[in-house]
Amino acid sequence: MLRAMQRSLLLVLAIGCSAPGPKTSVIVSDDVPTSFADLASFVANHIYRSDPAEGVSAGLHKYDGLLPDLTPAGIADQTKLLERDRDALIRFDTTKMTPAQHVERDVLLIELRNRLFSLVDLDVYRTNPMSYLSKINLDAYIIRDYAPANTRAAAVIKLCTALPAFLAQARTNLVPPMPRPWLDTALLQAKGHLEFADKDIRTYFAAVTLPLANQAEIDPALDTCKGALAEHVAWLTRQQATGSQTFALGTTKFLRMLADTQGVEIDLGRLTAIAEADQRRNLAALDEAARAIDPKRTTKEVVAAMAADRPTPATVLDVATQQTTTARQFIVDNQLVSIPSDELALVRETPPFQRWNSAFLDAPGPFETTKLPSFYYISPPDPSWPEAERLAYLPPTADLLFTTIHEVYPGHFLHRLHIRQNPSRILQSFCTYSSSEGWAHYTEEMMYDAGIAGQTPQMRIGMLKEALLRNARFVATIGLHTGGMTVEQATQLFADKGFVDAGNARQQAVRGTFDPMYLAYTVGKLMFRNLRADWMKANPGKTLRDFHDTVLSYACAPDPVVRRAMLGPTAGSPL
């Protein structure tokens, strides 16, 4: 999730930029750097200092154990600093900047506008209870051994000690009534944090082999965490009684969200037409694939029958591991994209405290100084469920292949490898939603088209089911936020055209109320497809690998920024 920022006026930075460019001047107040390299680092450092959880995730452990200042004064300072940094970048003399610095500047501007949109337009700290819970990054301290256990325990103690005041400030800032779907989700998050602090972290540090110097402080600190979270759970529960169904952004704010957070300028009519056209394309392809399997049955019947071919809880990790090996070798054999490292993503069962998703990648941040593993997590079904539900929980084999492609090769994991080797610390730092999820989703159809698993109709259906789920998100978020669509209507859309079960359909619809940008999967995919067509046309003789390597050389920059860098300032609309 995208985060907000707070104040910092440091001039000496922990992170740098790309190789120093020309020293150019900018007319700003005296305490703002006058070279672009210094200004870019100045801005980036502000962002990390204002959002310590994000800094920790990136591998900047000087932020361990910190929570942001979200008092009214702190929020006001964040807003002022964001505006000041944005204005300094806008005013900067671009004529003497290198091409790489132009990209860095555009990346930072969109990052700042994104955070201002969250702070000002969405007013998240007065309206959204989830905005506080996302700042509690306790799991970072036990997932990987990036430092001695004693050091990581100190971070937990520090955070837990500060948590009561932080959550009390949240309850002061938030203004009822709040949207009921947001309250319900925040309540689940708060309960998850509570259980994690009380059980998982406590168990983890109790099992450390060597005695810790601060061992006696851990349990009292976790008791403090538990008490603060229990109080917050009780408060959120009380707010449910007055929860509203008012969550829609409205057309103006929805389109501003796209412009400010992704750099995409478009009108609602055009956006809606794109969403519906791609959904129709994929539904027609699904019908075609189903007829190829059995022309006597309906598409839904064929898709349902494919569900029988699925791994069991005992075999799913082995199946996913083999799929990662197959996908990696397919990339190499077909020269689809460079693989810049021999590092592998380890397939593991999701730890209990992280089972919010059925499958996902958990990778270390780009600034970790210790070599740490990446995990491709597969969540097992709850053993307390009835057997039929447990067997139905895991995806069919074909679906799992395209999830593996999305999460590992050549999706998120390979993308992370390219980001980590990028020479620009700015491009390593910031990732746009539509670029990250768009790339991963783009690779699913690209790999199918390239011939992964033989291009059978069964594999095509597996790929298309993933695409249609994302199509339903695209259509649903437009409806929920600009067209008066209800959560119930969105739930039906996911069931009918997203090909998911009733429980997942409801979950997806609710997500759309607080994550309106989850259209980023399909929007990003379509922007990559359009860029590929235009770049290959402009560069005859270049290969698909050339295109992919060039795109990934810009790390996770917004697609419109990458498009201008690859095709020039008159490159046209990305959609």
Both tokens of residue 401?
Answer: 């292949």
Instruction: Select from 195, 200, 155 the least CA-distant residue to 52.
Output: 155
Determine phi and psi for 374, rounding to 5 degrees. -105, 145
Where residue 341 falls (left for φ over 0; alpha for ψ -120 to 50; beta otherwise) is beta
The DSSP bridge partners found for residue 131 are none
DSSP symbols for 175-204 = -S--BHHHHHHHHHHHHHHHHIIIIIIHHH
pLDDT at position 1, please? 36
Measured CA to CA, the distance from residue 82 to residue 22 in angstroms comes to 25
User: What is the Cα 536 distance to its own chain's centre?
Assistant: 28
Distances (CA, A) of 343 to 347, 392, 413: 13, 33, 10
First to last CA, the chain: 24
Measured CA to CA, the distance from residue 549 to residue 566 in angstroms comes to 12
pLDDT at position 31, please? 67
Cis peptide bond N-terminal to 164, omega within 30: no
Measured CA to CA, the distance from residue 385 to residue 205 in angstroms comes to 30
Which letter does DSSP use for residue 517 in this model? Answer: G
pLDDT at position 464, please? 98
Q: How many CB atoms lie within 10 A of CB 28?
A: 17
Which letter does DSSP use for residue 324 in this model? Answer: H
Which helix (DSSP H) or strand (DSSP E) does residue 347 occupy?
A: strand 345-349
Determine phi and psi for 122, rounding to 5 degrees. -90, -20
Both tokens of residue 509?
Answer: 């619809």
The DSSP bridge partners found for residue 349 are 378
CA dihedral in degrees (422, 426, 431, 436; nearest 10)? Answer: -20
Distances (CA, A) of 311 to 151, 307, 445, 452, 544: 40, 10, 22, 19, 33
Q: How many CB atoms lie within 10 A of CB 545?
A: 14
535 CB-near residues (< 8 Å, 6+ apart) = 542, 547, 550, 566, 567
Measured CA to CA, the distance from residue 424 to residue 522 in angstroms comes to 27
175 CB-near residues (< 8 Å, 6+ apart) = 126, 127
| 3-class state of residue 362 by DSSP | strand
Amino acid letter, 142: I
Measured CA to CA, the distance from residue 40 to residue 349 in angstroms comes to 40
Determine phi and psi for 377, rounding to 5 degrees. -90, 135
pLDDT at position 381, please? 84
pLDDT at position 383, please? 82
pLDDT at position 502, please? 86
> Average pLDDT of each block of 10 consecutive residues along the chain (575 residues)?
29 33 36 86 92 95 97 96 96 92 98 97 98 95 95 98 98 98 95 94 91 92 98 98 96 98 97 98 98 97 93 94 98 98 95 81 95 94 80 89 98 98 97 98 98 95 97 98 97 95 90 97 98 97 98 98 96 93
Distances (CA, A) of 184 to 111, 229, 244: 29, 15, 11
The DSSP bridge partners found for residue 244 are 179
For residues 220 and 157, is the Cβ–Cβ distance under 8 A? no
Both tokens of residue 269?
Answer: 């009519």
Distances (CA, A) of 293 to 307, 461, 466: 14, 10, 19
Measured CA to CA, the distance from residue 43 to residue 199 in angstroms comes to 38
Measured CA to CA, the distance from residue 461 to residue 53 in angstroms comes to 39
pLDDT at position 354, please? 77
Measured CA to CA, the distance from residue 87 to residue 107 in angstroms comes to 14
Distances (CA, A) of 321 to 330, 349, 397, 429: 14, 11, 12, 29
- For the chain, give the number of residues: 575
390 CB-near residues (< 8 Å, 6+ apart) = 313, 381, 382, 383
